[in-house]
Copies of this chain bind each other. A is one copy, B any other.
């Protein structure tokens, strides 16, 4: 099956898969009620979503039984979570957005970013995290200050000074 033939599922379905994976991980079993609570939708909506996910072969779900992800479903869930975590990290750690808001934004943006953006951003965060200067690179601290005060210290000047 070529890439072009893979029917893309909706953001919504991605969200369901993500939640199912999370519950599976946290509790071992996945029940309609739990999904319902976590997704903040009523139970019939969950039943409906599960039917659709079953049609796409992304979950296995016998009526009144537990919910299981298929391999394909688990894969999509993992990928979605990866995007989610990446974005949360970028917004939270790099930009220092409030965690709650970073989470909310990540939750929505996660369905929209291209592979290329995902990869660039991954590298970018790695670039920030592996900075030899310590936890937070100088230039980012400089940005923090710029954001707070509207002023900036010149990177070069600063470093030269610190060597005195």
Interface of A is mostly: helix
A155 within 8 A of B: yes
**Contact assessment for B114 and A101 in the assembled complex, using a CB-CB cutoff below 8 Å:** yes
Are A156 and B159 in contact (CB-based, < 8 A)?
A: yes
Of B91, B117, B132, which one neighbours A105 at CB under 8 angstroms?
B117
Query: Which residues in B have their C-beta under 8 angstroms from that of A155?
Result: 132-133, 137-139, 155, 159
Copies of this chain, whole number? 2
Residues of B within 8 A of A160 (CB): 159
Q: Does residue A108 face the partner (Cβ distance < 8 Å to B)? A: yes
User: Which residue of chain B has the shortest Cβ distance to A153 in the bound complex?
Assistant: B132
Chain B residues whose C-beta falls within 8 Å of the C-beta of A37 in the assembled complex: none
CA distance A104 to B155 in the complex (A): 34
Q: What is the minimal beta-carbon distance from A112 to any residue of chain B, in angstroms? A: 4
Give Cα A124 to B105, complex, Å. 17
Contact between A143 and B124, CB atoms less than 8 A apart: yes
Can you list 21 A-B pairs, Cβ within 8 angstroms, ordered by A? A95-B124, A96-B120, A98-B116, A101-B114, A101-B116, A101-B117, A108-B111, A109-B109, A109-B112, A109-B113, A112-B112, A123-B143, A123-B146, A123-B147, A127-B143, A127-B147, A130-B152, A132-B152, A132-B154, A138-B155, A139-B155
Q: Which 6 A-B pairs have the closest CB atoms?
A: A108-B112, A139-B139, A95-B120, A127-B146, A127-B143, A101-B114
